C-alpha cells in the first residue's frame, strides 16, 4: 500500500541549508506547524513551519510571496495565528498546503528569494501552545506500561478484564497544559495514612514522576451524537506532539479509587511546540494487529487500512538532566508501534457514544513503555515502584524526581530509504 507522494521523497532537498543536515528533526519532508513570535516582543502570535533550524513565518510568507490558486486562502488563518481554523478544513486542504510549501522550500524554487526574507532562527523565537485546546483526554494504550504498573499492585492479575477490549481513558485538565520549557511546581495533595495512623497527610508530593506519551491533535471534528467511523477517524486527526503527563504517584495512590486521577494529574502537562502532521508521518506507517490468541478489536474498531498501516514506527526517548549534570542522560527508549490501540481507534472509540470532538482537542496516548527491562516510560517502572533507585552518571540516585530536575522527551522516525522525521522535544523542569 503506497501512502506517500513527492513531498516524502528522501532525495528532496531545501534551499534552507540546515534542513539538509542528516540529524535535523525538521527536513523539508517534515514541515510541522507551531505558534510563535519573535522573542522579547509583544508581536501578535502567528503560525510558522519549522524548516531546519529556521521558522518560515507564514504571515510574512502570505504577504510577500506569490502563491498558486487557493493557497492564499489556506494561509489566511495561519497568518492570524489560528491553527484551529486550518485544522477544521480537512485532509484535502492539509495536503494542498503541504504540497505548496514543499515546492516553495525545495532547492531551486522560484519562490525561494521571496521566502528567504520570511525566515526566523528558532533560537530567536518564543513558542506557545500550537493551537487552542478545548478538551483533553488521556488514554492508557501502552500495554507494557499497564502490565508493569499492574504487577506492582496485582502481581497475579496485572491487567483488568476490560483492558484488551476497550481503549481506557479519562478526561484531563486543559488549563494546566504548557509548552516545552514549562516550569512545573511540585503539587500538594492528600496521601494515604502512614503505618499506624488513621488520618491521611496533606503536603507536597514526594513521588513526582513523568510519563512518556504522544499527544494526538484532532483536525476535523464531529457533531454531537454522530460517531466517527474508522475511515473518518483516519483522515480526521491532524498530527502528533510529544506529551509528558506529569504524575504525583503518592497522591494518585490515595485518590484514584473509585473515579480515577484528580489532583495527581491536573497540576501540569507539557507538550512539544511543533505539530508533526499525519501526512509527514505516512512513510512510517506499519501494519497493526493484536497477537494471535489475544482479543481482537470489535467491528467498530476494525478497518482494512488500520490493519495494513495503522501503527507507527516512532522511536521515543526520555532524558534526564539534574542540577549537577553538564549534559542530559538518556534513561530509556521505546517505540510507538507497541501501542495496543491505534490513533484511529482512539478517535473512533472517543466518539462511539456520541461525544463531539472539536478541532484542536488533545488525546494523550498513555505511557509508551517497551517490552524489555529498562524500557519503562516512567520512573515508577524503571525503579520498580521506588524500590530500586537508578544510579545516574554523576553518582546521584533517583527513585522519583527532585527539585531542579529537567525531563526531556524526544522522538524520531528513521529508516532505510526514508527521510528522518523528528518531533522536537518536550522539556519541563521541577521548580519545587
63 assigned ligand-binding residue: no
Nearest Cα to 340, choosing from 156, 152, 137, 147?
147
- Taking residue 360's Cβ as centre, other Cβ atoms within 10 Å add up to 22
Residue 365 CA to residue 55 CA, distance in Å, equals 28
From the list 144, 145, 349, 350, the catalytic residue is 145
154 assigned ligand-binding residue: yes
Residue 16 CA to residue 3 CA, distance in Å, equals 26
What kind and span of H or E run contains 99?
Answer: helix 91-105
110 assigned ligand-binding residue: no
DSSP 106: B
- Strands (E) across 23-109 are located at 33-38, 46-51, 54-57
211 assigned ligand-binding residue: yes
Q: At residue 203, what are phi and psi to the nearest 5 degrees? A: 175, -170
265 assigned ligand-binding residue: yes
138 assigned ligand-binding residue: yes
342 assigned ligand-binding residue: no
140 assigned ligand-binding residue: yes
Helix residue spans in 335-378 (DSSP H): 343-351
8 has catalytic annotation:
no
Cell numbers 553538564 correspond to what residue? 326
Q: Is the dihedral of CA 412, 347, 35, 430 positive or negative?
A: negative
269 assigned ligand-binding residue: yes
213 assigned ligand-binding residue: yes
315 assigned ligand-binding residue: no
Query: 90 is written with which cell numbers?
Result: 480537512
Binding residue ranges: 138, 140, 154, 211, 213, 245, 252, 256, 265, 269, 367
Binding residue ranges for substrate: 140, 154, 252, 256, 367
Active-site residues, by number, are 145
Binding residue ranges for Ca(2+): 138, 211, 213, 245
Amino acid at each position: 500500500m503506497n501512502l506517500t507522494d513527492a513531498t516524502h521523497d528522501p532525495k528532496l532537498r531545501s534551499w534552507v541549508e540546515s534542513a539538509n543536515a542528516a540529524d535535523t528533526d525538521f527536513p523539508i519532508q517534515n514541515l510541522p506547524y507551531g505558534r510563535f513570535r519573535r522573542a522579547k516582543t509583544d508581536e501578535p502570535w502567528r503560525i510558522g513551519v519549522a524548516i531546519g533550524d529556521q521558522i518560515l513565518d507564514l504571515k510574512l510568507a502570505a504577504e510577500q510571496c506569490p502563491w498558486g490558486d487557493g493557497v492564499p486562502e489556506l494561509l489566511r488563518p495561519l497568518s492570524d495565528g489560528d491553527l484551529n481554523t486550518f485544522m477544521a478544513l480537512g485532509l484535502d486542504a492539509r495536503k494542498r498546503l503541504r504540497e505548496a510549501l514543499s515546492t516553495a522550500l525545495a532547492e531551486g524554487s522560484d519562490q525561494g528569494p521571496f521566502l528567504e526574507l520570511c525566515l526566523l532562527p528558532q533560537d530567536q523565537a518564543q513558542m506557545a501552545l500550537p493551537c487552542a485546546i478545548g478538551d483533553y483526554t488521556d488514554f492508557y494504550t501502552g500495554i507494557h506500561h499497564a502490565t508493569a504498573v499492574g504487577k506492582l499492585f496485582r502481581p497475579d492479575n496485572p491487567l483488568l478484564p476490560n483492558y484488551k477490549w476497550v481503549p481506557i481513558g479519562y478526561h484531563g485538565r486543559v488549563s494546566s497544559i504548557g509548552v516545552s520549557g514549562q516550569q512545573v511546581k511540585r503539587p500538594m495533595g492528600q496521601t494515604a495514612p502512614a503505618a499506624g495512623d488513621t488520618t491521611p497527610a496533606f503536603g507536597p508530593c514526594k513521588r513526582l514522576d513523568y510519563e512518556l506519551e504522544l499527544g494526538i491533535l484532532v483536525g476535523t471534528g464531529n457533531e454531537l451524537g454522530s460517531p466517527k467511523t474508522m475511515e473518518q477517524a483516519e483522515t480526521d486527526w491532524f498530527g502528533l506532539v510529544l506529551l509528558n503527563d506529569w504524575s504525583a504517584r503518592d497522591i494518585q495512590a490515595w485518590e484514584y479509587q473509585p473515579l480515577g486521577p484528580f489532583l495527581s494529574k491536573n497540576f501540569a502537562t507539557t507538550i512539544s511546540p511543533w505539530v508533526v502532521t499525519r501526512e509527514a508521518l505516512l512513510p512510517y506507517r506499519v501494519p497493526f494487529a493484536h497477537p494471535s490468541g489475544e482479543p481482537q478489536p470489535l467491528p467498530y474498531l476494525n478497518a482494512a487500512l488500520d490493519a495494513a498501516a495503522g501503527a507507527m514506527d516512532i522511536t521515543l526517548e526520555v532524558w534526564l538532566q539534574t542540577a549537577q549534570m553538564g549534559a542530559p542522560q538518556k534513561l530509556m527508549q521505546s517505540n510507538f508501534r507497541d501501542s495496543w490501540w491505534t490513533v484511529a481507534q482512539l478517535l473512533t472509540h472517543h466518539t462511539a457514544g456520541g461525544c463531539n470532538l472539536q478541532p484542536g482537542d488533545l488525546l494523550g496516548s498513555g505511557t509508551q513503555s517497551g517490552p524489555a527491562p529498562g524500557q519503562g516510560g516512567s520512573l515508577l517502572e524503571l525503579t520498580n515502584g521506588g524500590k530500586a533507585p537508578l544510579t545516574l552518571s554523576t553518582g546521584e540516585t533517583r527513585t522519583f524526581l527532585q527539585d531542579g530536575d529537567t525531563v526531556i522527551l524526544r522522538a524520531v522516525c528513521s529508516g532505510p530509504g526514508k527521510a528522518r522525521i523528528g518531533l522536537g522535544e518536550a522539556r519541563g523542569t521541577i521548580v519545587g
